[in-house]
Amino acid sequence: MADVEERPADDAELAVLLKAAFDELVSRNGAEGRTQVKDGARYFVALDDDGRAVGCGAVQVFEPGSAHPGDAEVKRMYVTPTARGKGYARALLAGLERAARAKGHPVLRLTTGERQPEAIALYESSGFVQTAPWGKYVNEPLTRCYGKTLTRL
């Protein structure tokens, strides 16, 4: 399994991955589908056998007064095309789950698009269940919302 480590928001390798993630999202969905990652989000990277960051993701908290206060949300999940199919995304998602669980979030949520069948397959095979859309996604028919109840270890 790949190593997953937390990185600061201004990490250089993380910045490259976040730009690539944005570029891919725009190519599939257009720029209007991008949502911002909030201050205070925790960023993680998946490392290959040579210690290079080949994937990234973030966990951010739903604010009080939001659709799901106290839950956490996966943001910016991405693996470079050359590293896909090697288990990095699954390792990264597991690392994001561990981080959310360790902070006591009862549910980990995420959104993805209908045009991202690889992501849908990963999330569903990792125990995420499609939920009713929330927030800005309520009227977005090409967006799928998911959640996974986290249990304390």
Q: Give the CATH number for residue 39.
A: 3.40.630.30
Q: Which helix (H) or strand (E) holds 51?
A: none
pLDDT for the residue 33: 52
Q: Which domain holds residue 144?
A: 3-149
Residue 5 corresponds to which tokens in the numbers above? 């480590």
Other CB atoms closer than 10 Å to residue 68's CB: what's the count?
18
- Residue whose pair of structure tokens reads 């269940």 in the numeric block: 129
Length of the chain: 153
pLDDT at position 136 is 85
Report the SS3 class of residue 99: helix
Structure tokens at 140: 């977005």
Answer yes or no: are the C-beta atoms of 75 and 83 closer than 8 Å: no
Count up the domains in the chain and report the number.
Answer: 1
**How far apart are alpha carbons 117 and 144 in whole angstroms?**
11
Q: How far is it, in rounded angstroms, from Cα 122 to Cα 118?
A: 6
Q: What is the pLDDT of residue 98?
A: 96
- 153 residues of the chain, pLDDT tens digit each: 689 999 999 999 999 999 999 888 888 777 665 566 788 899 999 999 999 999 999 999 998 888 899 999 999 999 999 999 999 999 999 999 999 999 999 999 999 988 889 999 999 999 999 999 998 889 988 899 999 999 764
Radius of gyration of the chain (CA): 14
Packing angle between helix 88-102 and helix 117-125, nearest 10 degrees? 50
Distance of alpha carbon 130 from alpha carbon 13, whole angstroms? 32
Distance, CA of 85 to CA of 99 (rounded, Å): 23
